[in-house]
A and B are shown apart, each in its own frame.
Chain A
């Protein structure tokens, strides 16, 4: 079980969190302006890298806040956590 550092509450057991998939996939500004393919890309396509991945987590059994984390999908190491709306930090 991961130990995840909620930016609001500090380190807590993974069991307190819900996973929210890839981060920084914004709801399109004007969905009506998108082609079917562009809309389908927003709906159905997500990255699945081996390595660093910016993803969303929600501290559902804690402060109930959404935040983002950069996790290495190969090692499970979390390199950064940051609040929703903040830019993805650069990981050296």
Chain B
């Protein structure tokens, strides 16, 4: 608490604060000036208490704008919090005041924070029998009935305290302030074991099967005092058995000249500021209304000390009881009158009122103009949930109609007017929810005894509203340039009329043409008004026009909240191998392959500062390649996908999925295989190891491991459920070291003295179980480089020990994925997903030999007989040698036939898929997919690179050791 906590807000400090307001004094800055407010204020109420009228400026026209509403429907008072943490585009009406708040008004749009957000955000999944959205009278009544019968209930409300409309109206229940009743009732509910009350929680979206997304603002209101270990915001993902939408209503305004001036305010909002925040939004007010509700606002403001200069009512007959009360108080009621203009320099200083019959307009000095164009039920969530809307003639607004979801609206959200009726309606909704959830519905009176819904205070009988959208103003020059329908988008009646004049007759089209309703506030106050003006211009009924589509989110939500904990290192799982820490210590650079971190290359570190900068990537990769081709090198190959395929029909399954024959593979042997999709396009490749008659170990590419397992499962479950096969991912159970190079046999022999490593005992494409460096291992003679090579597989637990043993003598060079890519490319081995893209057949890759002629069928076979797969102009995998051996082609570069580019469109023959510098070839080279490529070997093509056309020669895709002489060492 500040040392000034005992002080109450003085009249001098807060000139518009009502007498007797008390609470802790909070200090804040707005637009560079120091102010004081009171605990419980929003930034909007605190600014009004200080007499700040213009809070922001409008986005297109730069007009000054003041506080217009008192809640999340605010279209005008957009602010940016600068301290303690920058946050853009907030409504001053929903920012709770705290000590040390620094904010600025915005010109319609904000600025992103220029520093990382240190706060934590999280998410929670929740399930309940009944979700009640809105803790106003109807919501509290519904939640009360459901909760007391034992249902699991979540009651969510966007404001810091429950009560909804009761907070602003100061209505009484059983003679007590409604606010007190709401607080006590909700506290009692929160104490029940199956009830969760979520304050400061906005339900943003209502999706299929009552999946509801809400955001709880947990510490935003604490400012710098927010504890660091509590999430600032929390996303609630709620699956509700039944949803009761007690979301109340939004007041709307009327289109007249100057209806955006600071000092023009919704009547209900002004009532809330006076009653709830103890703030007078002006000194002398004119009230402009189409319905009875503004009378209550006028009387409350008069009680609070605001001079009510006149009430202009568009109707000839307001509610009799209201008229009588005004007469008692001496308030002038001008029936059949409209406000034709709000006038003033930068804020309201007078209001022009005229009879609808015509005649001389009267200008009334005033600094406040309260407007009520009627109330619109908040049907956003109902509509998002797939519910239809219907027009309520009496209300002049759309209310919920039919829905197939287990959701209903209650209280004013479905057009129920009076407080008493809303309480009863809420209780009824609670009972229906209970019944639907299978609970015994309490019998007898409307509500359980002892917790009776208090009898609401007497409400005067209402007179019907008149639905006036637009005050016609010939005096405005006829362009309706300051008759705003959407304050946030600066859309005027003039623009709506232009849209209609251009032939747009649907509200959806007018919305897109004018942007009305598309702003941050999603047209909460303007949507129906826009429709009303369109209807007026077309001479049709609003009911016929309907509404624009309601979309989530109901109010803006920060990306940080949606991201929750899924950012930074937790954005995506990171998979590392058993040898990872060694790679890190050795200074490897890493490449992301799927979720795996793979060593990319291991640059030799510099010896000291300045003298020796160490290796760059090019030097490191050339050195690693040379070691693999001329000496001995090792790579961590643990990330390759590995699937155990087990069962009496395992060989049958593999025969059907691979293009080549796997059933003839002998136990102890290994075969390379390619899988295609039914359309004949290559899907994955890898090796198949036969461990036993009924057991194979299949390897996949690193990125495709999960997809291949899914592929096997899909065929087994959906097409061949008769096959007795089990597939299990064992990728993470094995660690693998690829030992490569002419000296690899010698190194293996030393590490595995019990293993006969000579070529006859251990030939190419076989595997042996052995002890390697004292570790149980399975050694495979497989080569992805063309060199003599082994893959040593051990349990993941022993992966690091094996790697360290291989590296112990210092003679084995570690290499990374870049070198692996160069080595395999020199041999013309394609990488699925790099040299293929889902449009490439094995034949296109020059791998006719992998496609069995003997098998009756396998997945993809029939497609090889399609005309399309034997077109001579299909793209083939070929090699490219740039004529300048120092030029490295960019991957993705296109290839053309001519040495000068013709007029576009330029016919392209194909593109580069892989491109490297080769130590073995002493030059650069590339792989490419080229139309009719195999027939073009020896041809010169050109690769447009920047402004140049780089000449290249087409070659076979196998550039190194085409005879395969190096395989056996």
Contacts from A to B (Cβ < 8 Å): 1-3, 13-14, 18, 20, 26-28, 30-32, 34, 36, 39-40, 42-44, 56, 58, 60, 64-66, 75-77, 84-85
Contacts and interface: CB of A to CB of B under 8 A. Distances in A.
Given A2-B209, A39-B863, A84-B721, A32 B714 contact: no
A13 B239 contact: yes
Contacts of A2: 208-209, 211
Given A1-B211, A2-B209, A43-B678, A64 B713 contact: yes
A60 B714 CA distance: 11
Interface string B835-879: 000000000000000000000110001110111000000000000
A28 B717 CA distance: 16
Nearest to A64: B713
B862 A66 contact: no
B33 interface: no
Contact of A3 (B209, B721, B856): B209
A2 B239 CA distance: 10
Contacts of A13: 211, 239
Contacts of A40: 866
B901 to A, nearest CB: 35
B862 A34 contact: yes
A30 B861 CA distance: 11
24 contacts: A1-B207, A1-B208, A1-B209, A2-B209, A3-B209, A3-B210, A3-B211, A13-B239, A20-B714, A26-B719, A27-B719, A31-B862, A32-B857, A32-B862, A39-B862, A44-B679, A58-B710, A60-B710, A64-B713, A66-B713, A66-B718, A76-B208, A84-B721, A85-B721
A6 B678 CA distance: 27
B862 A3 contact: no
Contacts of A28: 862
A89 B308 CA distance: 69
Contacts of A42: 678
Contact of A58 (B210, B386, B714): B714
B115 interface: no
Contacts, number: 63
A3 B212 CA distance: 12
B111 interface: no
B4 interface: no
B404 interface: yes
Interface string B661-689: 00000000000000000110000000000
Nearest to B715: A27
A10 to B, nearest CB: 13
Contact of B866 (A3, A14, A30, A39): A39
Interface of B: 207-211, 239, 386, 404, 678-679, 710, 713-714, 717-719, 721, 856-857, 861-863, 865-867
B211 A65 contact: no
B398 to A, nearest CB: 21
A20 B718 CA distance: 11
B187 to A, nearest CB: 33
A18 B711 CA distance: 12
Contacts of B867: 36
A-B residue pairs, 10 tightest by C-beta = A31-B862, A3-B209, A66-B717, A1-B211, A76-B208, A2-B208, A27-B719, A66-B718, A39-B862, A43-B679
A3 B386 CA distance: 15
A82 to B, nearest CB: 13
A43 B857 CA distance: 16
Given A3-B239, A43-B678, A56 B209 contact: no
A28 B603 CA distance: 54
Nearest to B713: A64
Contact of B717 (A27, A32, A84): A84
Contact of A43 (B209, B239, B721, B863): B863
A64 B714 CA distance: 9
A3 B241 CA distance: 11
Given A31-B857, A75-B404, A56 B679 contact: no
Nearest to A42: B678
Nearest to A60: B710
Nearest to B716: A66
B861 A31 contact: yes
Contacts of B678: 27, 42-43
Contacts of A58: 710, 713-714
Given A2-B208, A3-B211, A39-B863, A65 B239 contact: no
Contacts of B210: 3
Contacts of A66: 713-714, 717-718
Contacts of B721: 84-85
A56 B713 CA distance: 14
Contacts of B856: 32
Contacts of B208: 1-3, 14, 76
A29 B745 CA distance: 49
Nearest to B856: A32
Contacts of A39: 862-863, 866
A24 B239 CA distance: 31
B863 A84 contact: no
Contacts of B714: 20, 58, 66
Nearest to A29: B857
- Interface-central residue, B211, B679, B718, B719, by most chain A CB under 10 Å: B718
Contacts of A31: 857, 861-862
A14 B679 CA distance: 29
A2 B67 CA distance: 40
B505 to A, nearest CB: 26
Contacts of A65: 717
A45 B846 CA distance: 30
Nearest to A1: B211
Contacts of B719: 26-27
A1 B866 CA distance: 40
Given A2-B208, A84-B721, 11 more contacts: A3-B209, A13-B211, A14-B208, A20-B714, A30-B857, A36-B867, A39-B862, A43-B863, A66-B713, A66-B714, A84-B717
A77 B207 CA distance: 12
Contacts of A36: 865-867
